[in-house]
Structure 1
Amino acid sequence: MPTGYIFDVEFCWGFQACIAGLSKTSPSFYYPPPTTVLGAIAETLAKEYKIGEDKGRELIPKLSEELLALGVRPLNCTPMRYEDINRRIAVKVTGGKLYPDPKDLKGSFDSPASGKTILSTLDENAPKLRFFAVFNDCEVSFRNLKVRLNENAFWKIHRIGTKESIVSVSEVKKIEKLSVVNGPVKTNYSFPKLDGIKPIKKLQDRWEYENYVNPFRIKKYNPIDYHLKEGEIVTYYIPIMSSSLFSRTPEYYVALEKYICYIYSDERIIGRWSK
């Protein structure tokens, strides 16, 4: 039976979501990509089961297999994307010379731009996002272990993105009885543009578009490979909250054919059918 988790996350300043293996400019995103959120969950599970950070990354494809839906919506903030210049040690060969070189410190550094996102609060509280995840089964097999997903995995999330992207989880709800609708629906969460999901009308005009790695098709942990392969990237519709519309929740009217909408109270997220 599908199980849902709704968790509210407070951000210190915002976040940075780097693409592992992309040495130059990393893009900035409106919100943490779905795969980044799966990585944050996998990190807490790896610690709980003493798997280790490197091996723990292999949990991401396992979670992807059971993932039915994953979306985000703002509660009191709006994203501001930008890039800044950072001085980094450069591992390279230039003119037949290997860098970094202690005899040539100036040539041993590079200054690539790094994409970051500030979450600007619209009230006096810390910027907060709400995530809604639905899993087909909360237990996955990992080597010789049975790794079980529960509320503690979400409470223990301390960063979403790079190590500077510090967060604090303020609320977690586990939903074991989800309502489902397979006709036209209104959703207030980010959703993918896939065959069988047809956006009809914006019910609030602050929606943007962003490309992410498809979180439902992760077969192995290789982020840069997925970003370069055609067919592995999917466009997501992203709800944006503005100061003039702060009291209104961004909504989109969507027609569904091969997908369904999972509902809990006023929370409505589009996802796959249960296996």
Structure 2
Amino acid sequence: MVPLTLFLKVHLRPTGIIALRALPQSKMRTALRYVPPTTLIGAIAYPLLHISGDRGETTYEKKNFKSKAESVMSLFKWATIKVEGKPKLYGSLLKINTIYRGKVQSAVTSFPFAVLYGEFDGSLTAAYLIDEDALSKSTYTPKDLERAAWGITRLGSRESIVSVEEVKMGKTVFRERDKVRTAYAFPFKGVHVQGKGTLQTVVDWRSGIGDYSNAKRMVMFYPEGTVEVRGKFSTAEIDEEVIVLAP
């Protein structure tokens, strides 16, 4: 039998600026060009925790702050995104004025931050694969996950507002493949890609969300449009589309 599990497909549209911070770093912040899986998990965790009455965003354990998203992280087998349109990084120079012994001194630094400018001609589609065993042992139901998907309001920082235009839930099929075409981001490991896209190093969310100083990382390929992927890998089919999974 071909294994099945639940999937959530969420169609999003940015309503302004999407600010995706690359962590860890100092105040001279840079940004990620594309949405990493950790951000997708955090985006749905926030409304999901609200359903259970938990409105906290962080927790303090063993003298360390952790994201509350870790408490629902096990509900998901995989999370990825499809981007229609090419995002642009945007930043401004930081001008510093100081007064020293009555004299005004000015300086201009390099980019203090960068953001993903959301007003591009396109949209975002997030895909979540659900671990039904973990879900059955939790206090949540598939309906709760669907409600949480409709409740997604931001990606990343609080300024990164998005609107949910459509949510689909269904059964996905897992298959072993050696060649597929996909528009969703996938791990760039042991595969050959034909088509345009961007490589981006992201935190492997399965190793934890919150403290990224020693977190595992992986390289993701974010396609521009649809690309052909060749190799030996597992895939999930959702709503007549294919997602390449992590090895």
The answer to whether TM tops 0.5 is yes
Pair 1:207 & 2:210 matched: no
Distance change in 2, residues 1:112/1:30 (3 Å): closer
Alpha-carbon distance between aligned partners in 2 of 1:268 and 1:34, rounded to the nearest angstrom: 17
Distance change in 2, residues 1:43/1:69 (3 Å): same
Distance change in 2, residues 1:183/1:65 (3 Å): same
SS of equivalent to 1:216: helix
The root-mean-square deviation of aligned C-alpha atoms, in Å, is: 2.9
Q: Percent identity?
A: 18
Structure 1 letter corresponding to 2:174: V
Distance change in 2, residues 1:55/1:121 (3 Å): closer
User: Cα offset for 1:20?
Assistant: 6.2
Asked if the contact 1:25/1:115 (under 8 Å) is kept, the reply is: no
Distance change in 2, residues 1:87/1:69 (3 Å): farther
Alpha-carbon distance between aligned partners in 1 of 2:13 and 2:91, rounded to the nearest angstrom: 22
1:216 to 190, 206, 222: 206
1:129 to 103, 112, 124: 124
Counterpart of 1:9 in structure 2 is: 12
Unmatched 5+ residue regions in structure 2? 60-65, 97-104
Counterpart of 1:146 in structure 2 is: 139
Q: Which moved more, 1:30-39 or 1:61-70?
A: 61-70
Alpha-carbon distance between aligned partners in 2 of 1:216 and 1:252, rounded to the nearest angstrom: 26
Distance change in 2, residues 1:87/1:49 (3 Å): farther
2:228 to 241, 246, 252: 252
Distance change in 2, residues 1:49/1:112 (3 Å): farther
1:237 to 212, 221, 224: 221
Asked if the contact 2:12/2:166 (under 8 Å) is kept, the reply is: yes
Asked if the contact 2:9/2:167 (under 8 Å) is kept, the reply is: yes
Alignment TM-score, normalising by the size of structure 2: 0.78
SS of equivalent to 1:39: helix
2:86 to 53, 63, 78: 78
SS of equivalent to 2:43: helix
Q: Structure 1, residues 61-90: CA drift from partner, whole Å, max 9, x if none?
A: 244334322211123x211113324689xx
User: Cα offset for 1:173?
Assistant: 0.4
- Runs of 4+ off more than 6 Å: none
Asked if the contact 1:71/1:191 (under 8 Å) is kept, the reply is: yes
Alpha-carbon distance between aligned partners in 2 of 1:224 and 1:162, rounded to the nearest angstrom: 19
Distance change in 2, residues 1:117/1:171 (3 Å): same
Alignment TM-score, normalising by the size of structure 1: 0.71
Q: Structure 1, residues 72-122: CA drift from partner, whole Å, max 9, x if none?
A: 1123x211113324689xxxxxxxxxxxxxxxxx99xx9961121114534
Structure 2 letter corresponding to 1:250: T
Distance change in 2, residues 1:183/1:20 (3 Å): closer
Counterpart of 1:94 in structure 2 is: none
Alpha-carbon distance between aligned partners in 2 of 1:55 and 1:82, rounded to the nearest angstrom: 29
SS of equivalent to 1:133: strand
Alpha-carbon distance between aligned partners in 2 of 1:193 and 1:263, rounded to the nearest angstrom: 19
Structure 2 letter corresponding to 1:84: S
Pair 1:173 & 2:168 matched: yes
SS of equivalent to 2:87: strand
Counterpart of 1:101 in structure 2 is: none
Pair 1:267 & 2:241 matched: yes
Counterpart of 2:102 in structure 1 is: none
SS of equivalent to 2:243: strand
Pair 1:185 & 2:159 matched: no
Counterpart of 2:100 in structure 1 is: none
User: Cα offset for 1:59?
Assistant: 4.0
